[in-house]
Structure 1
Amino acid sequence: MKRRVLLAALGAAGLAGCSALPEKPTRQTMYDFGPPPAAEGTDGVNRAALVLPEVEAEGILETTALLYRLGYEDPFQLRPYAFARWSAPPPQLLRQRLREVLGRDRAVLDSAAAAALVRRGADRPPVLRVELEEFSQLFDAPATSRGMLRLRCTLLEARGGGERLVAQRAFAVERPAPSADAPGGVRALTAAVDAAALDIARWLQQR
């Protein structure tokens, strides 16, 4: 009898202990890039308008999946977090951030607005085409990860009936994740995007 009472007490304690463990998430958590980075000191020059079409990407980068790689196991496999997603596909979030940062010293137009200007007799502004090639959280070890961003920018200007290449540059930025989970990946990738946006702004100022 005493043995049965003891086992029952241990079972109850075990259940109580299990209830104190963190629960697995049961709902999707949505993330975006948050507020834009602080503005750098500017030279006060209002630069020429720029056309920024939709950012190009392929495959799973066109979805809202928050992606990671296990570099210590299989760095070639992209895996989506089960309960964390972006609020919009990364190309859309990236374009929004670029528009916020580049728009600090120039007008940033979409393709429709640029076409409307041309119909009214204005010259077509230069076009910045952006291709998103990598956007994931890489785990070098189970407790260590970083956000990786790789993109390619192509600056074109209207020439006759077509476009002329002005400049092209690849940007690759990595930032450490403050935690080895989805929130840490979001912060690392956002920091990488903000750094890349400022780099692109400086690059365009030299053109």
Structure 2
Amino acid sequence: MPHMNFEALRRLRSLPRRCGFPFVMIALTVAALSGCASGPSASASNIRYDLGAPPDIGTPGTLPPVKVVGISAPRDLDSDAFVYRLQYADAQRTGVYSNSHWTMPPAHLLTQRLRAALAARGPVLTGADTVRAPLLEVELIGFEQVFDAPSESHGVVSVRATLSQQGRVIAQRTFMTRAPASTADAAGGAQALAAASDELIAQMTAWLGAQPLVASQ
């Protein structure tokens, strides 16, 4: 997570008290100055994360052709920014890591993951294809690392999926998944968000397979 430079703080704490500067003010100053540093270390160069290798699909199922358009996202998620939320301090404020980003906007990463998962179970088409087939539209609602405490966090991914066929909505559902982070930094957040994304896509795939889809004609 965005963190204080503890080594610098230790050195400041060891200064003689005759300096006349209250230690608490020193701590606040260090925290403010180091707030822009994030990731594994303040000196690290810009680090790019993706969702890693796709999970094992297992035994492929059979789905009729499905049109999958690119996942849409609100403006605050339509970038490569790595978003976090300090739930324990102010649940209504979000921040972004300064030295850690995604390789592309999260909606694009999820679109690739979703297409790959569905392609293992049947033909995946684009919205531009003229084939008459069910249309899956997905809107990204949330994609962030949430800190429950300074040293504890988890990744949360949420989407709204709408399935339609021949202009009629067949089903709509909101999915939200979460996974714990192994470390309280961007690396741990990336791992947690990848796990949450894979679980979300697995749930969406199972949901899609349970719908009364009609093969294209």
Same fold (TM over 0.5): yes
User: 1:105: which partner in 2?
Assistant: 121
1:36-185 to structure 2, matched below 5 A, reads 36-43=54-61, 45=62, 47-112=63-128, 114=129, 118=130, 123-158=131-166, 163-185=167-189
Percent of residue pairs bearing the same amino acid type: 37
Structure 2 gaps of 5+ residues are: 1-39, 212-217
Q: In proportion to residue count, which structure has more strand?
A: 1
Q: 1:73 to 1:50 in 2, by over 3 A?
A: same
Deviation at 1:25, TM superposition (A): 2.8
Question: TM-score under structure 2 normalisation?
Answer: 0.76
Q: Moved runs in structure 1, 4+ residues, more than 4 A?
A: none
> Which amino acid letter does the alignment assign opposite residue 198 of structure 2?
D
The residue number in structure 2 matching 1:33 is 51
Choose the corresponding residue for 1:204, options 203, 208, 211: 208
Residues in 1 aligned to 2:77 and 2:176: alpha-carbon distance in whole angstroms:
16
| 2: CA distance, partners of 1:204 / 1:131 | 15
In structure 1, the gaps of 5 or more residues are 1-21
Partner secondary structure for residue 59 of structure 2: coil
Give the RMSD, CA atoms, in angstroms.
Answer: 1.6
- Equivalences, count: 173
The alpha-carbon distance between structure 1 residues 171 and 178, as it changes in their structure 2 partners (threshold 3 A), is same
2-structure distance, mates of 1:25, 1:126: 49
**Aligned partner letter, 2:136:** L
Taking the aligned partners of 2:59 and 2:145, their CA distance within structure 1 comes to: 31
Q: TM-score, normalised by structure 1?
A: 0.80
